[in-house]
Amino acid sequence: MSFRRRRPPGARGGPSDALTTDPADALAPEALPTPEPAIVRDDGHLMAAACDGDLDAFNLLVLRHERTVFTICLRLLRDVQAAEDATQDAFLRAWISARSFQGGSVRAWLLRIATNRAYDLLRVRARRPAAVLETEAAEIEPIWSTQSAIESPEAGALRDELGIYLERALTALPEDQRTVVLLADVQGCSYEETAAAAGAAVGTVKSRLSRGRAKLRQTLIDDPTAAELFDRYRRSQHETVDAPATRGRDSDDE
């Protein structure tokens, strides 16, 4: 996803700017220009350039954050097409209102625009319940995952199955709690970024997170199947962690 504007012919080193030289001279080592090291600009510099109308700088921000923005829209809307539309709208609104950026985390600012847009669509959907039933979204792939780099096939299967229950429990959370859980626990945002994206104080975010996590745990406990899956998943994780050490001891004994 990117926003483009047409450039005038010959702009920025087009073919008309090339010098006519002997091909042999062009291949000579001394004729080759010394490549300049790539400059990676942080979000703050890119946003400052975008505020001055630099569309290329803004497109770099889109490339950096479009996956995160799309994911949060998908978790809230649970519909791929609606999430794509919300993501596009969010970046378009961000570009139009770039000068309103007051500093801080660019990612949090973009996520706030995206979550606001997603909730706008949810409110429209709520006013048309019949249409929602006709276009019921299919079960989306669970996004819950382990932080462990090593995972057995059994643990992976259990995680996917458990993820379905977690997704349902997440959907049942109140809007404010669901938002902060998605931002902090799914997207990995800091408390400060989550607060900026949610438009709330850090203390409020921590309180909502605590209540949201407690409700998720209680939902799993109250469902015997989910509780069993979670217990099996935890055991499989311990077995995965212990396995390399066991193999090492066996090899030493040989």
CATH number for the domain including 103? 1.10.1740.10
- Secondary structure of residue 226 in the 3-state scheme: helix
Mean per-residue pLDDT for 183-190?
A: 88
| pLDDT band per the 50, 70, 90 thresholds, residue 109 | very high
In a domain, 34, yes or no: no
Q: Is the pLDDT of residue 215 over 60?
A: yes
pLDDT band at 39 (very low <50, low <70, confident <90, very high): low
69 found inside a domain = yes
Instruction: Note the pTM of the prediction, 2 decimals.
Output: 0.63
Q: Using pLDDT thresholds of 50, 70 and 90, give the confidence band for residue 7.
A: very low
Residue 163: predicted pLDDT: 76
The answer to whether residues 191 and 204 touch, using CB atoms and an 8 Å cutoff, is no
Cα distances from 205 to residues 86, 169, 208, in angstroms, run 24, 19, 5
How many domains are there within the chain? 2
Residue 173: pLDDT above 80?
yes
Same domain, 133 and 146: no
State whether 146 and 136 are in the same domain: no
Write down the mean pLDDT value for the chain: 75
pLDDT given for residue 162 in this prediction: 76
Query: What are 186's two structure tokens?
Result: 């799914």
Whether 15 is covered by a domain: the verdict is no
- Residue 18: the pLDDT is 38
Token code pair at residue 24? 């042999």
Domain that holds residue 134: 40-140
Pair (132, 222) in one structural domain: no
Q: How far apart are CA 168 and CA 143, in angstroms?
A: 12
Question: Considering the domain boundaries, does residue 237 fall inside one?
Answer: yes
pLDDT digits (tens, 9 = 90+) for 87-106: 999 999 999 999 999 889 99
Whether residue 17 lies inside any domain: the answer is no
Residue 116 and residue 44 share a domain:
yes
What is the model's pLDDT at position 137?
40
Of 107, 122, 140, which closes a domain?
140
